[in-house]
Amino acid sequence: MSSGGLADALLQACLRRGIMLATAESCTGGMIIAALTDIAGSSAVVDRGFITYSNEAKMQMLGVSAATLEAHGAVSRETAIEMAGGALARSRAALTLSVTGIAGPGGGSVQKPVGLVWFGLALAGQPPVAERQVFEDKGRDFIRRETVRHALGFGLRALDKGLGSQVAN
């Protein structure tokens, strides 16, 4: 399904449940919230988007701990979870999506290659979860577009099936 179709499906799923959503984005720089707000009527569901490209922004806007960033780095399961949890605590949303990754062309390493993205998700009343994806390095635009698509699908799966065993930790 296209990003637009996934965005619409996620908005409809939130609308049916009467919940709002928010995003916390690093490597996508606001592309997820843009995909959602491109759709007319999204204001009934979308609360806000946090664009936290720098570590300082992650700490100041989302409450990601300096200790987490020091120990695990910005592109990590731990940071994605803290980003999603921070967005939940700092918004009116009941569902938050976070992304932190390496879109390239530089910045990758053996342990954290270009294309690595960590996705976080927080749903009110449940502990945040994360999943890891490594996209093929077909360029920065490709990685960012695939990250948007995957994040929207992650949110939709969480609402359709619930958290826990359905979502990779």
143-163, pLDDT tens digit by residue? 999 999 999 999 999 998 764
Domains delineated in the chain: 3-111+118-129+149-161 (3.90.950.20)
Single-letter code of the amino acid located at 162: G
Please tell me the predicted confidence (pLDDT) of residue 3: 82
Reported as a pLDDT band with limits 50, 70 and 90, residue 165 is very low
Residue range 33-87, pLDDT digits in tens? 999 999 999 999 999 999 999 999 999 999 999 999 999 999 999 999 999 999 9
Give the contacts of 62 (CB within 8 A, at least 6 positions apart).
24, 50, 52, 82, 83, 86, 87, 90
Mean confidence (pLDDT) of the chain: 94
129-134 β-sheet, strand order:
46-51, 21-25, 95-101, 116-123, 129-134
Give percent of the chain with pLDDT exceeding 70: 95
Query: Is the pLDDT higher at 153 or at 166?
Result: 153
Radius of gyration of the chain (CA): 15
Backbone angles phi, psi at 134, to 5 degrees: -115, 110
